[in-house]
Structure 1
Amino acid sequence: MNKFSIKIIPWLVPLLLLISWQFLSSIGVIPKRILPAPMEVIQAAQTLMSTGELYEHITVSLGRALFGFFIGGLIGFLLGIFNGISRYSELLFDTSVQMLRNIPHLALIPLVILWFGIDETSKVFLVALGVLFPVYINTYHGIKSVDKGLIEMGKAYGLKGRALFFTVIFPGAMSSILIGIRFSLGVMWLTLIVAETISSHSGIGYMAMNAREFMQMDVIVLSVVLYALLGKLSDVIAKYFEGKLLKWDI
């Protein structure tokens, strides 16, 4: 199987669904009030692009997602590292983190709104909270799962402290850490969707809720498609870096 086929095959099912959707809409099987045809969604996107509104909403949502991901991912990563390599840190923090992890972060929306209002802080906080735990769990698990034999071998070669960590422990945990990052990217968009549809004055979620008020089904579907495309783009980028960073991993 050549590289071209590998790139094309994953898109065959979405393309078939898109063609079927357009065909069934054109013959009236799928009513416009239920689901507008793909061409109508594309026309809605072109209209919003011509006014600059679409770019603005996408930029705002991307900013919220990336800022929240950076904050939550960094905290989760550092906690996972410290709790994975230090027994004292694990005893002090892990139980608390595990308790907080079992609280659905989206259930905290009413409380977060009371804390931060409905401005950017509340949305970034929710995204960061959702991202934190997948990164933490996988980083912690990755550190703890490093082959003890490799660690002992590194010590036998005179490695200790930072040298042992960056030469043996961190590379051994990298696969699990990257899995956590990929999973947290999905949580990031899921959290942002909910946050933007509940309390927002801009962003893709706001665009969808505003379209609902005016019964603009094409714009609502466009918003869903944008979330799906951004989620796929995030996963593609994560897989790219995963391939680069794990070239040594057989």
Structure 2
Amino acid sequence: MRADIYIVHKPTDTEGDNSTAMVTRELDMKGECWHPLSLAEIDLFRNRIEQAVIWVCGMEQENHQFEVLQTLAARNRVVNTPEAIATCASKALTTALLVRENIRTPETFFSASRRDAAVFIRLQGKVVYKPVYGFDGNGVRLITSEDQLEDGPYYLQEYVPNDRDFRVFVIGDEAVGAIERRSDHLTHNIHQGGTAKAVPVDPEMASIAIAATEAVNADYAGVDLLLDQDGYTVLEVNGTPNWHGMTAPIPVLIADHLVSAARLTRR
């Protein structure tokens, strides 16, 4: 089995909301050869894939799939790389890289110590708890007291008052689109009931989103931002992002990126 481009579909795709199909349709229109690829089913040593581009629209956060992806990356160009996807999946590691690159992000605490977590809560007054490996805003909640803590480890961030956030879609070194998300509760994620509308990408938004994408070494990313009195601050970087609500032609741009990568791989 051999092709120029292999596609790992997003597990959360549905008939009415299919991110993978949006991009594969664009590849079909370009006349590009592509094949679906199941990380759960492939036998790496009987179905050797070499010198191909593998696009991971989404994947399950479990060890076997990461192992398969890392093995495939030894002989192929994987977009995003397994390392970048794993980095973005870990809020702690993402934050560490943002801090290392002096990119604004809310003050963060990460430890298994309940005692130290309680101190951080008292100092901040109000913090946001997030699962270290979480997605779509699941499990995010506001904490004002040690009594609200469950079992560690604890990934806690200062609470930045807001009524909206922004997702900026970055491909390569360009911020190609953005949405503003609003809700009447803590998280503005669309999967948590938030609403989205496309907004222009201003220079400051583009600069910090591109820097965050480079910090995690991703080909492309969805960078979530808050805006406070000092400017934009990065909440997280998504290595397999959705683009709901964006008017920018994201599927076309991703397809173009994959085709360009495939041409380089063919050489």
Greater share of helix = 1
Between Structure 1 and Structure 2, the one with more strand by share is: 2
By relative contact order (CA 8 Å, sep 6+), the higher-ranking structure is: 1
TM-score of the two chains, using structure 1 as the length reference:
0.25
**Who wins on radius of gyration, i.e. which is larger?**
1
